[in-house]
Amino acid sequence: MENYEKEINEILGKSKENSRPPILNKLAIVGIVAFIIIFVYASGFLNFAPKFTASFNAAWPGALNVHFSAPVSGDLEVSYSNGTMVYSGPINSFGVTHLLLNPGFYELVAGADFTYSLVPDKFNRTIFATGIASYGIISNSYQLSSYQIQTSEVLGLASISKITAYNATISGGLSPSTASLQLNVVANVSYDGNKTQVFWLQDVAQFDTSSGLYYFDDNVWNSSAQGANISSSAVNGSGGVLAYTTSKGATQNVYAYATSNKISTDLPLNLTLIIKTSIVDDHPIISFGYSQGFTIIDGKVAYNAHFYDNVSLNVNATKISIIITPYYVAPSFIPYDAEFVFGGPGNGASTYFDSLNADLSLLYYNDTLNSLSYFPSYYNFGEDTAEAADNLQTSPIAGSFANISVVTGAPNYGYASSTSSNQHSKKKSELS
């Protein structure tokens, strides 16, 4: 028995004569574990520092703005959801880490608390039309949430107390003192089972700030494909189809109409622009309208709508809807947004505003509630339109019908505000 025990001890690498006290064995194990932890931590495999994370979906190329509001140290990592790293670098204290991202699902990890926002950033543009817009994105601390809205009507309310603009190099027969206020949306037309056509719609007030007159025009663009045309046989309205030369030199046929009656710009001016869609006798109808004035009484918007152009699309359709969503873009590669913005008069022109003071609100018709509703969130620039403003900035407004105040100043493009679930009831008379 004694020989058998001796053989076992020899196999285990110890003997009764030279075995160490148990306390020394425990200290050795603790030392080895501590060495491994220190080595792994120093190698970057283990980090006990707190990590702050977030994830989001970018539906189109966008500029990611990550904000750190305190002096911090550490790194920011941005990766695709599959783990492929997009950016890894130091945190910019008291500033913004600005990244241009392609569409996809992303994960953010940082060694310090942060907030972030995603701004649509097509073609790396530097100036945009400025005002109020909804992209279906809510930007809050730690998280970007999203929403999708389908509606039959969108309208913009503007209260303008001052407006003058000038661009000496403007072309296309446009007055150098002209500026526009545009209501722009994207609509889907469903037909022939599961087929879809996409149209970009514009309802525009054109201000000649030199003569003190303004008028209205509208456009219907075929956005079912990049550079898609509209034929004269496919559309009926007060206007017609004309060839438009894009900023890239391409020609695209678009439906257009302009009112001949010029209206005096009596300031202050309350102005409503309206785009409404419907199906009549199986054909999609797009109604472009305005109201010269509106009032807010007990939280209700009252205005007299005048639809100056009712455009019929010659396709047997089952549905037409204005859509706001961040989940996909139109085949022409424009976001499904709604925008109510100031910019140049047309032909992709920008303009410089010598003066502007305006309050804007953007609403949609909530078919479920049978009333007007604010969008859940707003940005302060329009991505779809090619026109732009050189020198406008915005600030949010609280306790007013308006959501955004627009004045001259250095542009501050980005996320503007979130809204509560306030709804305005609609009271109106529609004039033929």
Inform me whether the pLDDT recorded for 362 exceeds 90.
yes
Query: Which residues are paired to 158 by β-bridges?
Result: 271, 360
Which of 95, 124, 153 is the last residue in one of the domains?
124
Same domain, 206 and 232: yes
Residue 67 lies in a domain: yes
Please give the C-alpha separations between residue 292 and each of 271, 306, 383, 386, in angstroms, as whole numbers. 5, 9, 27, 26
Question: How confident is the model over 145-184, as pLDDT tens digits?
Answer: 778 999 999 999 999 999 999 999 887 778 899 999 999 9
Residue 382 lies in a domain: yes
Same domain, 201 and 338: yes
Question: How confident is the model over 43-71, as pLDDT tens digits?
Answer: 444 444 557 787 777 765 565 656 554 55
- Domain of residue 37 covers 2-42
Residue 243 lies in a domain: yes
Residue 228 lies in a domain: yes
Q: Average pLDDT over the chain, rounded to whole?
A: 81
Give the pLDDT of residue 385: 93
Same domain, 142 and 93: no
Same domain, 203 and 89: no
Same domain, 320 and 239: yes
Residue 118: CATH number of its domain? 2.60.120.380
Determine contact, residues 301/424, Cβ cutoff 8 Å: yes
Q: Which range (121-125, 154-158, 192-196, 313-317) has the least confidence?
A: 121-125
Which of 71, 94, 124 is the last residue in one of the domains?
124
The tally of domains found in the chain comes to 3
Which of 77, 98, 124 is the last residue in one of the domains?
124
Determine contact, residues 70/112, Cβ cutoff 8 Å: yes
Question: How confident is the model over 388-408, as pLDDT tens digits?
Answer: 999 999 999 877 767 899 999
Residue 268 lies in a domain: yes
Query: Which residues are paired to 410 by β-bridges?
Result: none
Residue 47 lies in a domain: no
Same domain, 30 and 101: no
Residue 43 vs residue 224, higher pLDDT: 224
Query: For a pLDDT cut of 90, what percent of the chain falls above it?
Result: 47
Same domain, 134 and 268: yes
Same domain, 120 and 137: no
Q: How far apart are CA 379 and CA 416, in angstroms?
A: 5
Question: Which of the 8 DSSP states describes residue 234?
Answer: G
Residue 301 vs residue 427, higher pLDDT: 301
Same domain, 308 and 224: yes
Same domain, 295 and 361: yes
Residue 153 lies in a domain: yes
Q: How far apart are CA 363 and CA 359, in angstroms?
A: 14
For residue 102, give both structure tokens. Answer: 């392609």
Same domain, 111 and 175: no
Question: Which of the 8 DSSP states describes residue 19?
Answer: P
pTM for the model stands at: 0.75
Residue 294 lies in a domain: yes
Determine contact, residues 386/380, Cβ cutoff 8 Å: no
Please give the C-alpha separations between residue 239 and each of 163, 179, 235, 256, 275, in angstroms, as whole numbers. 28, 22, 10, 6, 16
Same domain, 12 and 65: no
